[in-house]
Amino acid sequence: MSETVLKLTNVTKTYGNKAAVDHVNMTIKKGDIYGLIGRNGAGKTTLTRLITGLSFADKGEIQIFGETTETGLREARSRLGCIIEMPAFYPNLNARQNLEYYQRVKGIPNKQVVEETLKLVGLMDTGKKKFKNFSLGMKQRLGIALALLNSPDFIILDEPINGLDPAGIIEMREILKYLNQEKQITILISSHILTELSMVATRYGIINEGKLVKEVTHEELKEDCQRSLAIVVDDVPKATSVMETILKTSKFKVISDREIRLYDYLDNPAEVSHQLVKNDVRISSVSEIGDSLEDYFMSLIGEVESL
Amino acid sequence: MIEIMKADLQRIFRGKGVYITFSLFVGFVLLTIFEAGHIGFIIEIDTLSSHSDIAISGFLLTGKEMAFYQMRNTDNILYFILPFIIFIAGADFSSGTAKNMLTSGTSRVTFYLAKLLLAIGCSTFIYCFYLVIPTVFVTVRNGFGGSLNGEFFFSLIRPFLLQWLLILAVTSVGIFLVFTTKKVATVNSGYLAFLLVPTLIIMILSGYNEKFINLINYDLVYNMRTLGYFSELSSKDITTSLLMGMGYILVSTVGGLLIFRKSEVK
């Protein structure tokens, strides 16, 4: 069983009468790239602020690397790297000077770490350019560099692709994959850009109005979003038999005693209906289902809001 | 903690602000030397043992007298301490870098105390520079004006230490303002108000009722100024200054830590 890196139990944070984070339960295992998805104002940043200790939960328990006490959490946080909201640095220092500052305060003995990290994020050639003159993309890269400076076991990135150009987004994606696969770093990444998250995340948490609406694995999400024919029939065994023997397909899944999902014949549903009826299977309905990630996300949020 | 202090010291010397502020401060110190002698002000000199007023003009101050002259105007340097407080601690909140420290396992108490101790170090340096440089300068030019005996040191060190304590108190209040308000503009106005407003209010109130003038004994800046007239102070005055200094340091530091430990950091 893999190590639990982060475990939140009933974590709640309220501002006035509004719950910014509402009884959130979440678990991140070692090796996960956990995508926290939510609209702007859904509670993503508040949640990351609670995890990193910038803010304090009103209720619930935060466990990082098994630690829950104040001292234990502080120790555990020394194994974290993070960017919360916008990366912040001293504006009058250049990239190297900023990282040297943190190398010193974090007591990192390896003098080469600054050069190595700058190289990794592609900021080796910024020279004397001060942080205040950096583009948004450069600031984000320096933020990543800081998050990686102390060779963390777990990094938390809040909206890290904000302000990046398409090339920068691709590079960021590659960096995250490299860190996860080569360095075995667990990653929590929050974003409202679902398609981008879907390219890196292995697990997802969908947050809306402070509540964690759903947690799914990448495979589950892929399945939920896969286009298919939802066929409601009176006799499922007979229908599956028709599919296998006459339609020559095994790309289906029995959902219930009345419903089958068929991932084949999407371009010819009439043939499916015809063969089923011909073999005395009564059909109540045939419909094409399946969402884009955005549709899936919106339908999930819509379901919650309509409750 | 020591690593944070070292890194901060290196950081502030990488910016222009510290050089500009220090240049202005050096200019100010030179001006005080010039003012104390060259223009020919009529100054009341309270030397070590004498209570007699000596009217002088021209560059007649000795090194010994210059030391006491400086101590009577020490409150001026409080305005130069403010920029250092901003460079050391305010910058972390204005740039948002405080969160980088706090998310990486640095305790809030360590962070607060590191900034406080460095600010105290800077204000101590400023105070010593303000006293020593003019004294040495004038001594080279006019002589020391007596012997560097134990009596001199005893009479100088006591007000020096008390003034230093009050400077530390003001520095602690400055750091308290930074960590509780987290806004540089508020720190600037709050710090200046702390230095100027109490005296002003006491003066206004005493205009209505003379009894209010006694409140001036509890004004930090007034206390600092009067320590330059140390030989004229009663033991009660000295005790008041001592307790005030310690009280301000204790209340502002403990209060600041308690508030900062539970506050949100943006």
SS3 per residue for B183-243: CHHHHHHHHHHHHHHHHHHHHHHHHHCHHHHHHHHHCHHHHHHHHHHHHHCCHHHHHHHHH
Hey, is the C-beta of B264 within 8 angstroms of any chain A C-beta?
Answer: yes
CB-based contact B120:B171 (threshold 8 Å): yes
**8 Å CB contact of A93 and B104:** no
What the block records as the tokens of B195 is: 């230095």
**8 Å CB contact of A88 and B96:** yes
Exposed/middle/buried for residue B236 (C-beta within 10 Å: 0-12, 13-18, 19+): exposed
Greatest Cα-to-Cα distance within chain A, rounded to the nearest angstrom: 78
Gap between the Cα atoms of A226 and B132, Å rounded: 79
Spell A142-178 as b/e; 16+ CB within 10 A means b: bbbbbbbbbebbbbbbbbbbbebeeebbebbbebbee
Q: Can you list the positions of beta strands (E) in A45-124?
A: 59-64, 80-83
Terminal C-alpha separation, chain B: 22
Tokens 């289902």 belong to: A289
Residues 6+ apart with CB under 8 A from B223: B166, B217, B240, B241, B244
* Residue among B7, B106, B266 whose CB faces A101 most closely: B7
Instruction: Give the pLDDT score at B219.
Output: 85
CB-based contact A281:A234 (threshold 8 Å): yes
Instruction: Give the pLDDT score at B109.
Output: 93
Helices then strands (H, E): number in chain B?
A: 11, 0
Tell me which amino acid residue B108 is. R
Instruction: Give the pLDDT score at B233.
Output: 73
DSSP label at A2?
A: P
- With vertex at residue B127, the alpha carbon angle to CA B143 and CA B156, rounded to the nearest 5 degrees, is 50
Instruction: Give the pLDDT score at B173.
Output: 94
Instruction: Give the pLDDT score at B51.
Output: 41
A290 conformational bin, left if phi > 0, alpha if psi -120 to 50, beta if neither = left
State the best of B9, B94, B104 to mutate against chain A, taking most chain A CBs within 10 Å.
B104
SS3 per residue for A107-122: CCCCCCHHHHHHHHCC
CB contacts of A54 in chain B (<8 Å) are 99, 102-103, 264-266
* Residue among B103, B106, B262 whose CB faces A84 most closely: B103
Instruction: Give the pLDDT score at A266.
Output: 82
CB-based contact A94:A126 (threshold 8 Å): yes
Give the chain A residue nearest B17 (alpha carbons). Answer: A92
Pairing assessment for the beta strands A211-217 and A203-208 based on DSSP bridges: antiparallel
Instruction: Give the pLDDT score at B64.
Output: 79
Tell me which amino acid residue A168 is. G
What the block records as the tokens of B247 is: 């009280």
CA separation, residue A244 to residues A237, A264, B141 (Å): 11, 12, 110
Give the chain B residue nearest A51 (alpha carbons). Answer: B103
Spell A80-117 as b/e; 16+ CB within 10 A means b: bbbbbbebbbbbbbbbbbbbbbbbbbbebeeeebbeeb
How many CB atoms are closer than 10 A to CB A18? Answer: 10
Which sign, positive or negative, has the C-alpha torsion A243, A246, A247, A248?
A: positive
**8 Å CB contact of A54 and B102:** yes
Q: Which residues of chain A have pLDDT under 70?
A: 1-2, 291-293, 295, 299, 302-307
Which secondary structure element, helix H or strand E, spans residue B74, and what is its range?
none
* Residue among B11, B104, B264 whose CB faces A101 most closely: B11
* Residue among A55, A86, A97 whose CB faces B14 most closely: A97
CB contacts of B15 in chain A (<8 Å) are 90, 92-93
Gap between the Cα atoms of B37 and B56, Å rounded: 9
Instruction: Give the pLDDT score at A1.
Output: 53
CB-based contact A59:A212 (threshold 8 Å): no
Instruction: Give the pLDDT score at B46.
Output: 46
Instruction: Give the pLDDT score at A21.
Output: 86
Residue B225 to chain A, least CA–CA distance (Å): 37
What the block records as the tokens of A29 is: 């295992």
Hey, is the C-beta of B150 within 8 angstroms of any chain A C-beta?
Answer: no
Order of all β-strands in the sheet with A283-289: A252-254, A259-262, A228-233, A283-289
**Angle, in degrees to the nearest 10, between helices B184-208 and B150-181:** 120
| Predicted-complex ipTM score | 0.79
Instruction: Give the pLDDT score at A3.
Output: 87
* Residue among A54, A86, A107 whose CB faces B103 most closely: A54
Tokens 């969908």 belong to: A206
Tokens 């120790």 belong to: A75
Gap between the Cα atoms of B233 and A191, Å rounded: 66
CA separation, residue B144 to residues A127, B72, B157 (Å): 52, 18, 16
Spell B108-144 as b/e; 16+ CB within 10 A means b: beebbbbbbbbbbebbeebbebbbebbbebbbeebeb
Instruction: Give the pLDDT score at A303.
Output: 55
Instruction: Give the pLDDT score at B117.
Output: 95
CB contacts of B11 in chain A (<8 Å) are 90, 93, 97, 101
Per-residue pLDDT of B186-224, as tens digits, reads 999 999 999 889 888 988 888 888 888 888 888 888 888
10-residue averages of pLDDT along chain B (266 residues): 89 89 91 67 45 48 80 88 94 91 89 95 94 85 75 80 92 95 92 90 86 83 80 80 90 94 86
Tell me which amino acid residue A127 is. G
Gap between the Cα atoms of A79 and A185, Å rounded: 11
Instruction: Give the pLDDT score at B53.
Output: 45
- Proportion of chain B in helix, strand, coil states, percent, rounded to 5: 80, 0, 20
Instruction: Give the pLDDT score at A168.
Output: 78
Hey, is the C-beta of B210 within 8 angstroms of any chain A C-beta?
Answer: no
DSSP A229-266: EEEEES-HHHHHHHHHHTS----EEE-SSSEEEE-S-T
* Residue among A74, A80, A93 whose CB faces B11 most closely: A93
Which secondary structure element, helix H or strand E, spans residue A176, and what is its range?
helix A166-181
CB pairs under 8 A between A and B: 76
Instruction: Give the pLDDT score at B40.
Output: 41
Greatest Cα-to-Cα distance within chain B, rounded to the nearest angstrom: 61
Give the chain B residue nearest A74 (alpha carbons). Answer: B105
**8 Å CB contact of A86 and B96:** yes
